[in-house]
Structure 1
Amino acid sequence: MPIGEVQPSVRPARVGRTDGAAGAATRRGVARSRRGRGMRSERLAPYVLLAPAVLIIVLLRLYPLLLGVNFSFTGDGERNGVAVGLDNYLELLRDPLFRTALGNVGLLVLLLPVAVAIPGLLATFIYLRVPGHRLYRSVYFFPAVLSPVIVGAIFNLLLAFDGPVNAVLGSVGVGAVDWLGDPDVAMFVVVGVHVWATFGMGLVVFLAGFATLDSALLDAARVDGASLPQVIWHVIVPGLSRTIQFVFVTTMIGMLTSMFGLLYVMTSGGPEGSTYLPEYYIWIQQGQMNRPALASAASTVLFVIMLVVGLLQIKLLKRAAREV
């Protein structure tokens, strides 16, 4: 290098700082990647948890339901497996026993508010701690653990023409009533026995609903001088609207699908077919008449009835809760 020439200065590279910046960027990228995977996992977690339940419902509920509906459009006997269109449904409409069963369904829908009001009022009294409320809670629930066969046998003895109930009526000058042999009375008796045997479950649900009720509202109503009917109508009913909807729907389903044991033991569908319900009619067609396709059609009609009535009940109850 010539003597007068100035050598250019070379600035050393800052290796450590560059490596540190690159490392920080890498760590930020890894963190973002992990957060992305975590967010995806959180989004997928509900679907993974619900998948077994959905699979069970599809395989054990929806698929058999679709098979039953499809089977209802086929024939019985010599026409077994042959598509018959709406013949089974038309035969149901022509069958007086099935028409009686549908009429009894209408009766159950009319009596449903009573079946819900009984456990609701009893749960209200227990919640307000009437004397002996702990004893009442266990006593009211006890019938719910009894088999329908046992309940039916007990009431067959009590309601026999020469049984204890008619003996008590005779002692006060009232004539004996054929509780299970009179076509105009038998269905009301069976429904009453069913309500007695099952209202304990509704009672438990109402008590669980009361646990979510704001007690400050009740205290405010008492301070304002509200009577018990006013407290029930303006405080308890709006506060338990969701619970009431649930009890209405479950009670309706129970009345339409869980009375077979009582019907079989107490009346066997009699007298004169006056206590037929769709579930009993289905059993007769499937088990005794060997007509599974007709029974499938009746099952489909029962499912549609429960679906329509349940949706209408929920809609009416929501509207009533807004108006209260």
Structure 2
Amino acid sequence: MPIGGSSPAVRSAQAERTAGAEVEQPGRHGTGRTSRRVPRGARAERLAPFVLVAPAVLIIVALRLWPLLLGVNFSFTGDGERNGTFVGFDNYAELLNDPLFRTALRNVGLLVILLPVAVAIPGLLATFIYLRVPGHRVFRGVYFFPAVLSPVIVGAIFNLMLGFDGPLNTALAQIGLGPIDWLGDPGIAMFTVVGVHIWATFGMALVVFLAGFSTLDAALLDAARMDGASLPQIIWHVIVPGLSRTIQFVFVTTMIGMLTSMFGLLYVMTSGGPEGSTYLPEFYVWIQQGQMNRPALASAASTVLFLIMLVVGILQVSVLRRAGRED
């Protein structure tokens, strides 16, 4: 055996171990080609959510976002002799100078003020139904029934009831109150139409609240009752915090409905009158597009309506979230 060296057999064994380590090292450190290969099953699982969401995204882009962008672009063009030409912000300046559109914006502010009432009514009724007041099964069907009626039918019914010589004024006269011009007084007409809209549509919000109650922990209600909490305390300290996300959803959807779903009532009950006092941006858009043949100005009004709904919705969600964190 040579001095200071290894035998050929030992060197051969060491060389084999070194070669084996070099072969195994890439796999051990994850740098080999085999370790980088992703199994087909894992790759399919990663792509599955995108494949499932893709049809909905394409529909939203094709039927919502793209027409919205076209409408915004069209609002910067002219009408009549200037049809198709770029006019900048002329349409928006004309909107701000139009008394009818300013009235429509003031009415939007009125809707925002009345929004808590429109949400509180179905919320309280859903609470009573959840607490199983006597006859709650009958009330559930009765409260939802107006939601299936056409706004045209609802408007026609209330036109008869709220007429100057209608049943409501006749009943008021029996108790010594003078007749009220519910639909002909500019100071009252908008409140009347909003009240009818709330009556006709709160059934959907009621269903949403009842669905939210199904996620509420009943043990909290039982504990509150055992501690001697009154019904207002239970509603404010137990039910409202427990339904915070449901309340946020109802606030936003109710506001959108009040801004975009009152055309039928307005058309049948007041046609924007008296003196333009019941104009809303949605009704203004129809007047400019359908009667005045000014589609570019109507597009500008639609863009303003979209921005109003976006800002109001974001503000509502932020305020309600802040209130929920404080509770």
* Fold shared per TM-score above 0.5: yes
CA distance in 1 between partners of 2:64 and 2:181 (Å)? 42
Query: Partner of 1:143 in structure 2?
Result: 146
CA distance in 2 between partners of 1:186 and 1:322 (Å)? 39
C-alpha deviation, 1:36, in angstroms: 2.2
CA distance in 1 between partners of 2:313 and 2:93 (Å)? 25
Q: Tell whether 2:152 aligns with 1:156.
A: no
C-alpha deviation, 1:323, in angstroms: 1.6
TM-superposition CA deviations, 1:68-127 (whole Å, max 9, x none): 000000000000000000000000000000000000000000000000000000000000
Q: Tell whether 2:117 aligns with 1:108.
A: no
CA distance in 2 between partners of 1:270 and 1:47 (Å)? 50
CA distance in 2 between partners of 1:49 and 1:295 (Å)? 36
CA distance in 1 between partners of 2:296 and 2:42 (Å)? 50
C-alpha deviation, 1:43, in angstroms: 1.1
Give the residue type in structure 1 aligned to 2:99: P
CA distance in 2 between partners of 1:251 and 1:34 (Å)? 51
TM-superposition CA deviations, 1:17-45 (whole Å, max 9, x none): xxxxxxxx9xxx9x989962212111111
CA distance in 2 between partners of 1:274 and 1:100 (Å)? 7
Query: Partner of 1:285 in structure 2?
Result: 288
Query: Partner of 2:91 in structure 1?
Result: 88
CA distance in 2 between partners of 1:178 and 1:312 (Å)? 36
1:245-260 equivalent positions in 2, closer than 5 A: 245-260=248-263
Structure 2, unaligned runs of 5 or more: 1-26
TM-superposition CA deviations, 1:116-175 (whole Å, max 9, x none): 000000000000000000000000000000000000000000000000000000000000
CA distance in 1 between partners of 2:59 and 2:100 (Å)? 35
Q: Secondary structure at the match of 1:110?
A: helix
C-alpha deviation, 1:314, in angstroms: 0.2
Query: Partner of 1:218 in structure 2?
Result: 221
Q: Secondary structure at the match of 1:131?
A: coil
Query: Partner of 1:323 in structure 2?
Result: 326
Identity %: 82
Q: Tell whether 2:58 aligns with 1:52.
A: no
Q: Tell whether 2:123 aligns with 1:123.
A: no
1:63-102 equivalent positions in 2, closer than 5 A: 63-102=66-105
Query: Partner of 1:274 in structure 2?
Result: 277
Q: Tell whether 2:235 aligns with 1:237.
A: no
CA distance in 2 between partners of 1:36 and 1:121 (Å)? 54
Q: Secondary structure at the match of 1:129?
A: coil
Q: Tell whether 2:310 aligns with 1:312.
A: no
CA distance in 2 between partners of 1:125 and 1:34 (Å)? 60
CA distance in 1 between partners of 2:203 and 2:69 (Å)? 34
CA distance in 2 between partners of 1:33 and 1:210 (Å)? 49
TM-score norm. by structure 2 comes to 0.89
Q: Secondary structure at the match of 1:74?
A: coil
CA distance in 2 between partners of 1:85 and 1:100 (Å)? 24
Q: Tell whether 2:266 aligns with 1:263.
A: yes
TM-superposition CA deviations, 1:289-317 (whole Å, max 9, x none): 00000000000000000000000000000
TM-superposition CA deviations, 1:234-263 (whole Å, max 9, x none): 110010000000000000000000000000
Q: Secondary structure at the match of 1:184?
A: coil
CA distance in 2 between partners of 1:143 and 1:134 (Å)? 16
What RMSD, in angstroms, separates the aligned Cα atoms of the two structures?
Answer: 1.4
Give the residue type in structure 2 aligned to 1:139: V
CA distance in 2 between partners of 1:46 and 1:234 (Å)? 39
Task: Give aligned pairs, total.
Answer: 296
CA distance in 2 between partners of 1:318 and 1:94 (Å)? 37
Name which of 167, 180, 183 aligns with 2:183.
180
Q: Secondary structure at the match of 1:73?
A: coil
TM-score norm. by structure 1 comes to 0.90
CA distance in 2 between partners of 1:273 and 1:197 (Å)? 23
Give the residue type in structure 1 aligned to 2:143: Y
Q: Where has structure 1 moved over 6 Å in runs of 4 or more?
A: 31-35
CA distance in 2 between partners of 1:229 and 1:41 (Å)? 53
Q: Secondary structure at the match of 1:317?
A: helix
